[in-house]
Amino acid sequence: MKILVCISNVPDTTSKITFTNDNTAFNNVGVQYIVNPYDEIALSKAIDLAEGGKGSVTVITVGDASTDATIRKALATGADNAIRINALPRDAWFVANQIANYAKESNFDLILTGRESIDYNGTQVGAFIASILNIPSVSISKKLDIDGRTATVEREIEGGKEVLTLNLPAVIGTAEGVAETKIPNMRGIMTARTKPLDVIEPIEVTQLSRIVKFETPEPRGAVTLVDASDVEKLVSLLHEKAKVI
Amino acid sequence: MSILVYVENTDGQFKKSAFEAVSYAKAVADQSGNQVVALSIGNVEDAQLTLLGKYGASKVLNVNTEQLKSFVNQAYAAIIVDAAKSNDASVLILSNSFSGKGLAPRVAAKLNAALADGAIELPSATGENLQVKTGAFSGKAFAFVELTSTIKVIALNPNSFEVKEAETSATIENYSPSIDAEDFSTIVKDIIRATDKISLPEADIVVSAGRGLKGPENWGMIEELADVLGAATACSKPVSDAGWRPHSEHVGQTGIAVSPNLYIAIGISGAIQHLAGVSASKTIVVINKDPEAPFFKVADYGIVGDAFDVIPKLIVALKAYKEL
């Protein structure tokens, strides 16, 4: 089974988020980049599925050379080879077109993405790829089993879950529960340097959207502390002041 | 031209998020002097469909066939695209729900449309373009996305736009677009819904607890508190990782992001990964025995105290308040 895992290079969870150029660009000075945590779940699942010679795992990302460290981390975790589309990821539509363009020539059985990226919090790339390739997709899966050419997926729905089957090839977005996140071991780190990382130039894509500015949320006012012996006060504050009950 | 809104049903009933989407569509339509066309797919009774008129739909397209009773991503997307084209829709609105997140990109791709997902406010028009405010960086920022395509798709976050009644009434039309057999390659085998539970992403009030509760056997008081408030229950990552509570309750960075009116955090320290999932909440109450817990820094109200002491008292106080 040939598996393609889409990796996004995102600011570390604990990064302070600030903007430059009059709040039109993300300020990446001093920011540590990591493999998007949801994509790590996708990668870990792919490695499980391919284990014991049952398949191969290719990771793909859209980014400039500064993303190579993130790609090497994915290779160290256990991917067999990597593709980098040499372009800055403009938006989800651009990224999806680059990946779909690569995938359509390569006959992957399964394309995995994380359910969303922790930077722009979009859930778009996976379903865009599936739409371009005209294959089925599930955007947020909690469980994934593959049997021959059939995938059985448990997906989250409001107030419950849904179990569905779909034929491969398919695109599946992974969330918590699909796999335990793997961490690179020493052997993985050593071999990562020798695994192939191919750099491909991007294709032209019509731009349909752009981010015009960013804002940071208004800081909340100082906390109003209520004494533990006076919970009635909390109830009346929530009713009269916050007006939420 | 029209504004098309796709409304999702749960077992034939529209929930609050559906009415939010219609109200949002109506406000967008009023900006441009258009009418709202609502599209429903699945087995929904006329009485429910009529309700959409109350919130601003002038026309309701009803797709009700056995084949489409349960959600099939590709087939539903094909129908929405068909309806958008036949109603000359300039803007298409969906809920940014679990299903909506899978639908919106497919629909946008087929319509050559730009997509803003996770919208939290009404768009503003700049010439032919629309600017949409969305959440970004897991609650640490907002991004204003400008949609420059002819048709625009907006996926609205639940609990972000108030349901508003409008002075409209809707005509209901049966709608039966043709769908390709290959759009049915996914098959729903089973739906498991905890009917007595309030859905977490849509909940107005969320009661959430963490490791401070010491063990799963102590969740009785959390559930009782949630019950009194009509709230959904949630938990922190260590709690779901330990198997005390299901993963579906995990709120935070790798779990679910929520934006209720009231979020009550009990025995949760407030790690940055957890805050990423709750910072869009309108009011945050933190109950923790550690006065240094970082969660207090982002809270509106706080009680420094032991959950085992405070929660039973809070339940009593809330019950008394509800009886007034």
Mutate to test the interface with B, among A158, A166, A212 (most CBs of B within 10 A): A158
Contact indicator for A43, A111 with CB cutoff of 8 Å: no
Q: How many other CB atoms are there within 10 angstroms of residue A80's CB atom?
A: 17
Residue intervals in chain B for CATH 3.40.50.1220 = 205-323
Question: Is B323's Cβ below 8 Å from some Cβ in A?
Answer: no
pLDDT score at B70: 87
Residues constituting chain A: 245
**Shortest Cα–Cα distance, B33 to chain A (Å):** 24
- What residues of chain A, 27 to 46, have a C-beta less than 8 Å from chain B? 37-38, 41
Q: Which of A116, A98, A93, A174 is nearest to B108 (CA)?
A: A93
Q: What is the phi/psi pair of residue B178, to 5°?
A: -85, 140
Task: Please list, in sequence order, all residues whose beta carbon lies within 8 angstroms of the beta carbon of residue B161, skipping any fewer than 6 positions away.
Answer: B20, B23, B24, B27, B120, B121, B122
Q: How many other CB atoms are there within 10 angstroms of residue B220's CB atom?
A: 10
Question: Is B7's Cβ below 8 Å from some Cβ in A?
Answer: no
Which helix (H) or strand (E) segment holds residue B222: the answer is helix B220-229
- Please give the residue of chain B at the shortest CA–CA distance from A150: B186
Which helix (H) or strand (E) segment holds residue A192: the answer is helix A186-192
- Domain boundaries B2-184, corresponding CATH code: 3.40.50.620
**Shortest Cα–Cα distance, A227 to chain B (Å):** 6
pLDDT score at B212: 97
- Verify whether the Cβ–Cβ distance B299 to A220 is below 8 Å: yes
Q: How many other CB atoms are there within 10 angstroms of residue A183's CB atom?
A: 11
Contact indicator for B263, B206 with CB cutoff of 8 Å: yes
**Shortest Cα–Cα distance, B127 to chain A (Å):** 14
Q: Which of A144, A175, A140 is nearest to A155 (CA)?
A: A140
Q: Which residues pair with B186 in a beta bridge?
A: A166
Question: Is B106's Cβ below 8 Å from some Cβ in A?
Answer: yes
Round to whole Å and give the CA distance between B83 and B61: 8
For residue B238, the chain A residues in CB contact (below 8 A) are none
- Verify whether the Cβ–Cβ distance B299 to A223 is below 8 Å: yes
**3 state DSSP class of A84:** strand
- Please give the residue of chain A at the shortest CA–CA distance from B188: A164
Mutate to test the interface with B, among A132, A223, A233 (most CBs of B within 10 A): A223
Task: Please list, in sequence order, all residues whose beta carbon lies within 8 angstroms of the beta carbon of residue A176, skipping any fewer than 6 positions away.
Answer: A41, A142, B240, B247, B250, B254, B255
Round to whole Å and give the CA distance between B84 and A67: 39
Contact indicator for B297, A223 with CB cutoff of 8 Å: yes
Q: What is the phi/psi pair of residue B312, to 5°?
A: -60, -40
CA B200 to centroid of chain Cα atoms: 9
- Please give the residue of chain B at the shortest CA–CA distance from A17: B140
pLDDT score at B58: 97
Out of A123, A162, A208, closest to residue B188 by CB: A162
Q: pLDDT tens for residues A39-75?
A: 999 999 999 999 989 999 999 999 999 999 999 999 9
Which helix (H) or strand (E) segment holds residue A236: the answer is helix A231-236
Radius of gyration of chain B (CA): 21
Out of A124, A220, A228, closest to residue B304 by CB: A228
- What residues of chain B, 50 to 79, have a C-beta less than 8 Å from chain A? 70-71, 73-74, 77
- Verify whether the Cβ–Cβ distance B303 to A231 is below 8 Å: yes
- Please give the residue of chain B at the shortest CA–CA distance from A16: B140
A33 token code pair:
């980049």
Residue intervals in chain B for CATH 3.40.50.620 = 2-184
For residue A140, the chain B residues in CB contact (below 8 A) are 98, 101-102
Round to whole Å and give the CA distance between B58 and B26: 9
Round to whole Å and give the CA distance between A92 and B130: 18
Question: Where in chain A are the domains?
Answer: 2-212
pLDDT tens for each residue of chain B, 324 residues long:
999 999 999 989 999 999 999 999 999 999 999 999 999 999 999 999 999 999 999 999 999 988 898 899 999 999 999 999 999 999 999 999 999 999 999 999 999 999 999 999 999 999 999 999 999 998 899 999 999 999 999 999 999 999 999 988 999 999 998 888 889 888 898 988 876 678 899 899 999 999 999 999 999 999 999 999 999 999 999 999 999 999 889 999 888 999 999 999 999 999 999 999 999 999 999 999 999 999 999 999 999 999 999 999 999 999 999 887
Q: What is the phi/psi pair of residue B211, to 5°?
A: -60, -20
Contact indicator for B96, B158 with CB cutoff of 8 Å: yes
The fold adopted by the segment(s) A2-212 is Rossmann fold (3.40.50)
B35 token code pair:
């009418």
Question: Is B92's Cβ below 8 Å from some Cβ in A?
Answer: no
Round to whole Å and give the CA distance between B238 and B250: 9
For residue B108, the chain A residues in CB contact (below 8 A) are 93, 124, 128
Q: Looking at domain B205-323, does it have CATH number 3.40.50.1220?
A: yes
- Verify whether the Cβ–Cβ distance A137 to B106 is below 8 Å: yes
A75 token code pair:
């290779």
Torsion of the alpha carbons at B176, B24, B198 and B279, rounded to the nearest 10: 140
- Verify whether the Cβ–Cβ distance B141 to A19 is below 8 Å: yes
For residue A215, the chain B residues in CB contact (below 8 A) are 133, 141-142, 144
Residues constituting chain B: 324
For residue A118, the chain B residues in CB contact (below 8 A) are 137-138, 253, 276
